[in-house]
Structure 1
Amino acid sequence: MTSGELPKSIEETQGLLDSAGYVADRSLATVLHLALRMGRPLFLEGEAGVGKTEIAKVLAASLDRPLVRLQCYEGLDISTAVYEWNYAAQMIEIRLAEAEGNVSREALANSVFSQRFLIRRPVLQALETSSAGAPIFLIDELDRSDEAFEAFLLEVLADNQVTIPELGTIKAGEPPITIITTNRTREIHDALKRRCLYHWLDYPTAERELEIVARKVPGAAEQLAQEVVAFVQHLRNNEDLFKQPGVAETLDWATALTELNEVALDPEMVTDTLGTLLKYQEDIDRIKGSRAHEIVESLRQDLFAQGQSPQTGPLSR
């Protein structure tokens, strides 16, 4: 597979992700392969921190294509997301034309509403094809935007074009590779989902998360990596938390503990560093102290029974 070329099989797609350090299961590789081959947007839904945004970044790096990112938020409008006119430059053009006094009103209107005064925002940038090919267009956290903007995207996703009243329709020469992510804080309308291929990206299994930690935090001690993953998996599956930690938080925590020269989990250090793993004080209060001690003791015994971690004896702190 040459640089910039789309993968021709599921195995090549999985290999493409793997070469960039993204550990994906076959179901994700399959739907991504289909999205690439069919030229359809990929709609990724899942909890925050499971690696949805990272897929677009990996594709841009692996395929050597530009990444155009539209970060959604409440109040996002066309002038921020699609285009706006350079009003200051237009006013200067008008003043100069008035000073010359020999330009008709119609000619002046055509002049100021031309491509050279158009400021391209992410949506328009995504419709431009460079020498490297169509860009990777990341529409990140669509659920944070308003329904009105979501409705506007229908034309973009269906026809790969944008209509500008003063200029007409601008259509992509080559459709961008579009990745849409949502954390499901609200439902996205069916009309938009029908234009996409869909995939729910869940938290990884313990085995896959351990592989991710090994790749992303290669300096982490083997026992520390095993115990960090086991601790995080326990929190997700057994603790009633306001916000479960994602893979990004697992990597942050493993990195922090490695920076502190830890080679295994220590309950006292767990309590001291919970702020890198959990992002709500209520969750930290629930886990710190004696509860952290209990979890570390339990998971260490489980790992020892499975032959995955050396037994270090009862924890005294």
Structure 2
Amino acid sequence: MSQPVSKPIILQVGPYPEWDQTPLDSAFEVKKYFEAQDQPGFLAEHGPTIRAIATRGELGADRAMIEACSALELISVYGVGFDAVDLDACRERGIRVTNTPDVLTQDVADLGVAMMLCQSRGMIGAERWVRDGSWASKGLYPLKRRVFGRKAGILGLGRIGFEVGKRLAGFGMDIAYTDIAAKEYAPGWTFLPDPLDLARHADFLFVTLAASAQTRHVVNGDLIACVGPEGMIINISRASNIDEEALITALQNGTLGAAALDVFEGEPALDPRFLDLDNVLLQPHHASGTIETRKAMGKLVRDNLSAHFAGQDLLTPVF
């Protein structure tokens, strides 16, 4: 009598929605790291049998986790960002890495533009103005700033940055961008190779860069000052791209007009000083947070795992 084929054993770093968890549990033998009370002990016990890691972009996999999994072949990231994965440790051992690009691009761009509109037009405060009776007792809401016809800067014209630009074009905005080189697919937008020049141009500066050691704190005090007291910075990339200390200082003293942020260092335990600022819109890292996109992301994580264990080409390899 033949023995049943054993399922590949994978390490799941963080929880997924039920619509992803159920098929993941069905296809693989899943060791749930996030449920372990003693996580180092859990890794010591199960690490030698782990062949793949399923993680989320903000959770990643550090060197200690990778080294604990001596049979590791693949890390499949739920998210487009993979900066929280120790890529050097992976390269040293020939471990493959995948992510979930493209499927979340449109939703991230949507939220970035929505954040710009919401903050520029003061929509959070205006909603409170209605609810708390201020409209009836105090009259019209204080005037805010328009969006259409103003200047936008896009720092990083990759997939998401390009989709942001396409949306901004609908507002008749003067669009410029910075990247490592001019992009042929940018339809008449202005290429500015120096990020400082882009910041000087922009009423609204969108940060849409991939995160890396080279881009860490690229949005620093000098660049923030160039955006200026009438400008706004919108970050839908990674928190590490912005020097948060410089950003908070500029928001506090008015040398930057406003910010709209979906990502933070140490999230969800963000710097409490953000909570005291009325010129920043705070969002809970949910730019890809639609049912449609999250289902597509989860499927792509599983499809990459399945392709690997079937000896097929990975669908979306990082390397």
Bigger helix share: 1
Q: Could you say which structure has the larger radius of gyration?
A: 1
Q: Which has the higher contact order (CA 8 A, sep 6+)?
A: 1
State if a TM-score over 0.5 links the two structures. Answer: no
State the TM-score, normalizing by the size of structure 1. 0.30
Length-normalised TM-score, structure 2: 0.30
